[in-house]
């Protein structure tokens, strides 16, 4: 079994270990919930204060031009693009994930007017299910949304399927799907593919270009550390730009926004998917949060992520044999950057851990969920977290814990 | 004619003059563009830093509960409510104005399924026109959007009109409409009334309750000083809550967001109009910006606003007789908190003023627009601005000015 001294050694030779210093973390806490909300980095605070005091404070309305606010959604999008394997000009940052999904779902159904089915995973995050049904109801023709088991998606593919919407890494189990394999099958059926990358971006290597994905979107507040309710990101493959229409158009997506034209004419490229001015302060936070990626490659992050999750699984099994069901796949090719443990008392266990300074979260009905974020987590953190879990499981307090982190945002 | 010494005296006895100290303003500049983007107040910077360093920094994911982030859209909405004459529980702050309009337009068309016309002002801000057409196209039945002259709206009211959407204060001319009178006529025709209050909130007294308005929305970055791209606000009269459905639903608007239910069931009250987590950092900026209203009544602000705009009009006419057409109504009952001057060289004039430290903006094709914001403008500022305008008009430079503030966001 890996010993604490081994973890210390692993940390000592970890090339990205110094990045931890960029983040605000509480002493005596082990934060295993960066898959819900990433922590603040120094650059976030600096960039936000630069916007408030300088760009907005001194520049006032001139900031729209002089500080490049007009281009900020696409500029920050371009910074984010390499993390998902997109090209410059294919990513936009704005709004929230649900609105961006709405834009794609509405636009994609317009592109496939001869088809009337949307396939999606019943285990999707519920917002995705609500918005796909809502946009389907407004498609101008009858659309059937089939929210089914992931394993049944493939057998349901046929020439009536307009769009398939799947989440790449499951928010409960942490299971990762085959981006390229599934996209290829969806294309073979003549359907369009929309990926929700909320639990993937910044967590696992992504190659939307190589997978030939049509559309993708994700949020900025998990592994990208952009802050609570951070603007989300949208990817539209270059070949769809100009064809896919934004069903929620606004003046900032107009070809000539300052000509105040009565009729909407979309701007070129990703700008057409901007609706109205997103919060520049919020964009600045995400912009700052992306700085850390200048110093870490996704390959480094992935390698460490797998080491961290392997270690966690190994230690949980060694120290607490048979106590938990390990829900997250062992197969690296199917694992995101979190580990989900199943236990009937998961809710109380998460509470008891919280009281001991280990922050994970609970997901209905019986999942204890732990995110492993290589930018700021150490191997010793994993070791210590498991030791505390062992200690918690020795007592009885977890059986009657009070409500608390249940309401943590996924 | 009012002399500078008179302005100094007016400032000296102005009860809300001390509020100017709350704002970051550049020395040697006169900012007459707060109707486009309000300046930073001290409380904004303080509140944003509190969120970043304390609530998010130390609280991490716990902020959603412990710092009340979950309730922030409705809590900040309740703070804003008195400024528009709404009751607690009738206002929400989230998203951007265009998305909030989309929600109301979609929901309102569903409420009036037996009617097929939307009336709106052709002079509306163009985003309003784009989104009303976009949502009409997705209503599930043929809808005609009539974008017509404001003066023709009344004669077009009939029992086929589902919704009337008007902007209360025109963004070009500064003309203010009769909130109650028009709402009553719209109701008499059995239609629903949606007011765009972008240029009204924080600028003029509003009484959506007294006017019996059905719905209203506005942005947070003009007279409310919430920052570039600040979250917008939405008002839904209590009696419509529970009946009006959100066409862009998300998990945070669900009755039980943490039960991860497959089917959408709206939360009670305004929470049903929240889609997904809005930026907490952006909400914090607006929250801080509202602090100043604890020290000023809307009546004080309105009285001073009329004095400032009266003074500007008086001085422009006295010092530059016949040079400009005063587009903004003289009638106080029809005036917002800006003055629009028409001149064929308006574009160059705004440029020349900018070079002299007077910041207004240009609106196509020939409007020079000046916002008068009583929270931080002095009477001497108005006097000095007109003197500089006089000086600019003496020269020739304004006839060949370069492009610059044209791209300022309205």
Q: Which of residues 272-301 of B touch A (CB under 8 A)?
A: 275-283, 285
Supply the CATH classification number for the domain A4-31+297-407.
3.90.1150.10
Residue A230: list chain B partners with CB under 8 A: 279
Q: Out of A31, A171, A215, A221, which one is annotated catalytic? A: A221
Q: Do A127 and B250 lie within an 8 Å CB cutoff?
A: yes
- Determine whether B125 is an active site residue: yes
The partner residue sitting opposite A70, judged by closest CB among B36, B359, B407, is B407
CB-hemisphere CA count at 13 Å for B176? 23
Q: Which residue has the tokens 């949606």?
A: B194
Residue B404 pLDDT class (50, 70, 90 cuts): very low
What distance in Å separates residue B247's CA from the closest CA in chain A? 6
- Which of A298-302, B93-97, B192-196, B257-261 is the least confident region? B257-261
**Contact criterion met (CB below 8 Å) for A256 and A231:** no
Angle between helix axes A97-111 and A126-136 (nearest 10 degrees) is 40
E strands of B251-380, at which residues? Answer: 325-326, 338-342, 358-359, 361-363, 367-371
| Element at A148 (helix H, strand E) | strand A144-148
- Determine whether B160 is an active site residue: no
**Closest residue in chain B to residue A138, using alpha carbons only:** B138
Q: Out of A31, A78, A115, A125, which one is annotated catalytic? A: A125
Q: Measured in Å, how far apart are chain B's first and last C-alpha atoms? A: 32
pLDDT of residue A396: 82
Residue B58: list chain A partners with CB under 8 A: 24, 26
Q: Do A60 and B37 lie within an 8 Å CB cutoff?
A: yes
For chain A, what is the radius of gyration of the CA atoms?
22
Residues B389-404, mean pLDDT to the nearest whole number: 80
pLDDT of residue B364: 86
CA distance B275 to B273: 6
Say yes or no to pLDDT of B53 above 90: yes
The CATH class given to the A46-294 domain equals: alpha beta
The partner residue sitting opposite A57, judged by closest CB among B24, B106, B279, is B24
- Determine whether B196 is an active site residue: yes
- Determine whether B130 is an active site residue: no
Handedness of CA B337, B343, B348, B353 (dihedral sign): negative
Q: Do B361 and A262 lie within an 8 Å CB cutoff?
A: no
Q: Which of residues 192-221 of B touch A (CB under 8 A)?
A: 221
pLDDT of residue A392: 97
- Name, in order, each residue with C-beta under 8 angstroms of B334's C-beta and a sequence gap of 6 or more: B175, B176, B177
What distance in Å separates residue A285's CA from the closest CA in chain B? 8
What distance in Å separates residue A358's CA from the closest CA in chain B? 12
Say yes or no to pLDDT of B177 above 80: yes
Give the strands of the sheet with B325-326, arranged side by side. Answer: B325-326, B338-342, B367-371, B361-363
pLDDT of residue B206: 98
The partner residue sitting opposite A276, judged by closest CB among B56, B58, B97, is B97
Q: Does A28 touch chain B (CB under 8 A)?
A: no
Q: Which of residues 151-170 of B touch A (CB under 8 A)?
A: none
Residue B281: list chain A partners with CB under 8 A: 48, 227-229, 279, 281-282, 285
Q: Does B302 touch chain A (CB under 8 A)?
A: no
Q: Out of B47, B112, B172, B369, which one is annotated catalytic? A: B369
Q: Does B227 touch chain A (CB under 8 A)?
A: yes
Residue B230: list chain A partners with CB under 8 A: 279
| Greatest pairwise CA separation for chain B in angstroms | 69
CA distance A371 to B223: 42
Backbone angles phi, psi at A38, to 5 degrees: -70, 155
Q: Measured in Å, how far apart are chain A's first and last C-alpha atoms? A: 32
Residues B201-221, mean pLDDT to the nearest whole number: 98
Reading chain A (410 residues) residue by residue, the pLDDT tens digits are: 999 999 999 999 999 999 999 999 999 999 999 999 999 999 999 999 999 999 999 999 999 999 999 999 999 999 999 999 999 999 999 999 999 999 999 999 999 999 999 999 999 999 999 999 999 999 999 999 999 999 999 999 999 999 999 999 999 999 999 999 999 999 999 999 999 999 999 999 999 999 999 999 999 999 999 999 999 999 999 999 999 999 999 999 999 998 889 999 999 999 999 999 889 999 999 999 999 999 999 999 999 999 999 999 999 999 999 999 999 999 999 999 999 999 999 999 999 999 999 999 999 899 999 999 999 999 999 999 999 999 999 998 888 755 445 545 55
Q: Does A36 touch chain B (CB under 8 A)?
A: yes
Q: Out of B47, B112, B172, B222, which one is annotated catalytic? A: B222
Output the pTM of the full model.
0.96
The partner residue sitting opposite B130, judged by closest CB among A40, A95, A249, is A249
ipTM surpassing 0.85, yes or no? yes
Of residues A146, A143, A138, the one with CA closest to residue A106: A138
Q: Are strands A338-342 and A325-326 parallel, antiparallel or unpaired?
A: antiparallel
Residue A20 to residues A16, A41, A219, A268, A296, Cα–Cα distance (Å): 8, 9, 22, 39, 12
Interior/surface letters A290-311, b for 16+ CB within 10 angstroms, e for the rest = bbbbeebebebbbbbbbbbbbb
Q: Which residue has the tokens 């949502």?
A: B135
Structure tokens at A132: 């796909």
CA distance B321 to B391: 14
Q: Does A97 touch chain B (CB under 8 A)?
A: yes
Distance of CA B342 to the CA centre of its chain: 22
Interior/surface letters B359-372, b for 16+ CB within 10 angstroms, e for the rest = bbbbbeebbbbbbb
CA distance B375 to B302: 10
Q: Do A37 and B260 lie within an 8 Å CB cutoff?
A: no
Structure tokens at A6: 């081994």
Residue A130: list chain B partners with CB under 8 A: 249-251, 254, 264
Residue B230 pLDDT class (50, 70, 90 cuts): very high
Backbone angles phi, psi at A319, to 5 degrees: -90, -25
Handedness of CA B375, B378, B381, B386 (dihedral sign): positive
The CATH class given to the B4-31+296-407 domain equals: alpha beta
Q: Do A126 and B57 lie within an 8 Å CB cutoff?
A: no
Dihedral over alpha carbons B16, B22, B24, B27 (to 10 degrees): 50
**Contact criterion met (CB below 8 Å) for A58 and B40:** no
B214-227 pLDDT, tens digit each: 999 999 999 999 99
pLDDT of residue B260: 86
Of residues B274, B231, B279, the one with CA closest to residue B250: B274
**Closest residue in chain A to residue B61, using alpha carbons only:** A37
pLDDT of residue A63: 95
**Contact criterion met (CB below 8 Å) for B355 and B328:** no
Q: Do B279 and A139 lie within an 8 Å CB cutoff?
A: no
The residue extents of the domains of chain B are 4-31+296-407, 46-294
Q: Which residue has the tokens 């801080």?
A: B288
For chain B, what is the radius of gyration of the CA atoms?
22
CA distance B204 to B300: 10
CA distance B350 to B34: 15
CA distance B390 to B312: 12
Residue B31: list chain A partners with CB under 8 A: 60
B123-155 pLDDT, tens digit each: 999 999 999 999 999 999 999 999 999 999 999
CA distance B110 to B248: 13
Q: Which of residues 322-381 of B touch A (CB under 8 A)?
A: 359, 361, 363-364
The partner residue sitting opposite A228, judged by closest CB among B258, B277, B285, is B277
**Contact criterion met (CB below 8 Å) for B64 and B51:** no
Number of Cβ atoms within 10 Å of the Cβ of A333: 7
The partner residue sitting opposite B40, judged by closest CB among A39, A52, A130, is A52
């Amino acid at each position: 079994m890996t010993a604490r001294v081994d973890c210390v050694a692993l940390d000592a030779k970890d090339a990205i270990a110094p990045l931890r210093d960029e983040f605000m973390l509480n002493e005596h806490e082990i934060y295993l919930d960066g898959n819900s909300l990433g922590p603040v980095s120094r650059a976030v605070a600096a960039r936000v204060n630069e916007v408030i005091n300088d760009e907005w404070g001194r520049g006032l309305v001139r900031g729209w031009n002089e500080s490049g606010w007009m281009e900020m959604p696409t500029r920050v999008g371009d910074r984010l693009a390499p993390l998902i394997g997109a090209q410059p000009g294919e990513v936009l940052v704005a709004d929230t994930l649900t609105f961006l999904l709405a834009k794609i779902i509405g636009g994609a159904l317009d592109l496939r007017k001869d088809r009337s089915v949307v396939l999606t995973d019943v285990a999707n995050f519920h917002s995705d299910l609500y918005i796909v049904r809502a946009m389907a109801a407004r498609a101008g023709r009858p659309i059937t949304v089939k929210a089914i088991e992931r394993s049944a998606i493939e057998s349901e593919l046929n020439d009536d399927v307009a769009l398939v919407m799947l989440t790449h890494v499951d928010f409960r189990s942490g299971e990762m799907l085959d981006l390229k394999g599934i996209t290829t099958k969806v294309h073979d059926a003549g359907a369009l593919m929309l990926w929700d990358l909320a639990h993937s971006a910044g967590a696992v290597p992504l190659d939307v270009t190589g997978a030939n994905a049509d559309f993708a979107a994700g949020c900025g507040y998990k592994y990208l550390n952009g802050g609570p309710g951070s603007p989300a990101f949208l990817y539209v493959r270059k070949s769809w730009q100009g064809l896919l229409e934004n069903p929620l158009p606004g003046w900032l997506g107009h070809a000539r926004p300052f000509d105040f034209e009565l009729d909407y004419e979309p701007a070129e490229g990703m700008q057409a998917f901007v609706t109205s001015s997103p919060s520049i302060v919020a964009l600045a936070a995400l912009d700052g949060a992306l700085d850390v990626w200048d110093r870490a490659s996704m390959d480094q992050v992935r390698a460490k992520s797998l080491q961290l999750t392997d270690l966690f699984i190994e230690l949980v099994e060694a120290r607490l044999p048979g106590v938990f069901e390990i829900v997250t796949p062992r197969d690296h090719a199917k694992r995101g950057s979190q580990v989900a443990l199943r236990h009937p008392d998961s809710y109380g266990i998460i509470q008891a851990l919280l009281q001991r300074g280990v922050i994970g979260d609970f997901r209905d009905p019986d999942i204890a969920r732990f995110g492993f974020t290589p930018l700021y987590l150490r191997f010793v953190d994993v070791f210590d977290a498991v030791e505390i879990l062992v200690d918690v499981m020795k007592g009885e307090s977890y059986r009657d814990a009070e409500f608390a982190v249940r309401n943590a945002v996924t």
